[in-house]
Structure 1
Amino acid sequence: MPGLPIRAAIASDGAFLADMTVEAATWRAGAVRPRHEVLSSSDHRRYVAGWMRPGDAGFVAESPSGEPVGAAWYRMFPRDEPGFGWIGTGVPELIIGVRPLWRAHGAGRALLQRLDDHARSQGFARISLSVERDNYAVSLYRSEGFAVVRRGIGRDVMAKRLR
């Protein structure tokens, strides 16, 4: 649905970003993994713990009625505690999640573009993400200029040049 309102994420969006982390981790149709199980894993918790720490930035898409339906945000991770999509110091790692009902309606693309523009305006030269190879979002990422920079077992790290 074109024209969904998108706003900057704020500190109180932490719980919603946690929900979107769960969506990102359980993207397959029929995948069921309890929220607490996903978020109790340090691999996933790192993307939302202490949300709005220095260097964090993100955006939230809302339905016409004002309900949050998706989010894209980035975080900086140190070399000794990398995220799934870490490619180097000073490169923000992107996380994106959209509620299933709102997928394939342009919310993810709009969020991705807004976050990329913001990262560029903050002086970042690249942004990265991690995606499972069979995730349908791979085609979205490719169409937005992301390319595989590291292959893993069933999962790839992709990056985009921002300048």
Structure 2
Amino acid sequence: MDYKIRQLKKDEDKILEVFLYEAIFIPEGVEPQPKDIINHPDLNIYISGFGEKTDLCYVAEVSEEVVGAVWTRIINDYGHIDDETPSLSISLLKEFRNHGIGTAMMKRILKTLKEQGYKQVSLSVQKKNYAFNMYKNVGFEIVRGNEEDYIMLCKL
């Protein structure tokens, strides 16, 4: 599949709403949440006011359509480690998963974060999430967990 990865343009921040919703893991047999769930403060923190100095986002395009996004920001979220560690979010539209696009986006943002001087990046993932193995394959390690989720960290 032909795709390109580029930085999010300043006027495109609204598309993060689509990818925040797509980032919500829905286990097999569970009904998806309504789309307005992204307005809940625990979720909206990932995109509200995106574009601050430390915010970073790459998108993947196929035939000039944005099909995925990976972004980081320093926030007190589910994957929070400390105020120096960005939290990472990633999602792809379902039909574009399992083509290597997510891994390529991850590698691109991790490289940029390292170039910017960050030492590590974190994320939260549900244990049943199919993306867990991709996170491990690009260098994330489990630092703690509970019944449902892992907090993972990647040293840069």
CA contact (8 A) 2:8 2:57 kept: yes
Distance 1:108 1:27 in 2: 18
Aligned match of 2:85 in 91, 102, 106? 91
**Unmatched 5+ residue regions in structure 1?**
none
Q: CA deviation digits over 1:36-57, x for unaligned, max 9?
A: 1x21211110000001011100
Q: Aligned runs of 1:14-163 on 2, under 5 Å?
A: 14-28=13-27, 31-36=31-36, 38-63=37-62, 65-77=63-75, 82-162=76-156
CA contact (8 A) 2:54 2:73 kept: yes
Distance 2:13 2:23 in 1: 15
CA contact (8 A) 1:10 1:52 kept: no
Shift of 1:27: 4.3
CA contact (8 A) 1:55 1:76 kept: yes
Query: SS in structure 1 opposite 2:23?
Result: helix
**Number of aligned positions between the proteins:** 155
CA contact (8 A) 1:26 1:33 kept: no
Superposed CA RMSD: 1.3
Write the letter of the residue equivalent to 2:132: V
Distance 1:44 1:55 in 2: 18
CA contact (8 A) 1:132 1:154 kept: yes
Tell me the percent identity.
Answer: 32
Distance 2:25 2:147 in 1: 17
Q: CA deviation digits over 1:10-55, x for unaligned, max 9?
A: 222222111111011144456422211x212111100000010111
Write the letter of the residue equivalent to 1:106: G
TM-score, with length taken from structure 2: 0.94
Q: CA 1:121/1:15 → structure 2, altered by over 3 Å: closer, same or farther?
A: same
Write the letter of the residue equivalent to 1:114: R
Query: SS in structure 2 opposite 1:23?
Result: helix
**Unmatched 5+ residue regions in structure 2?**
none
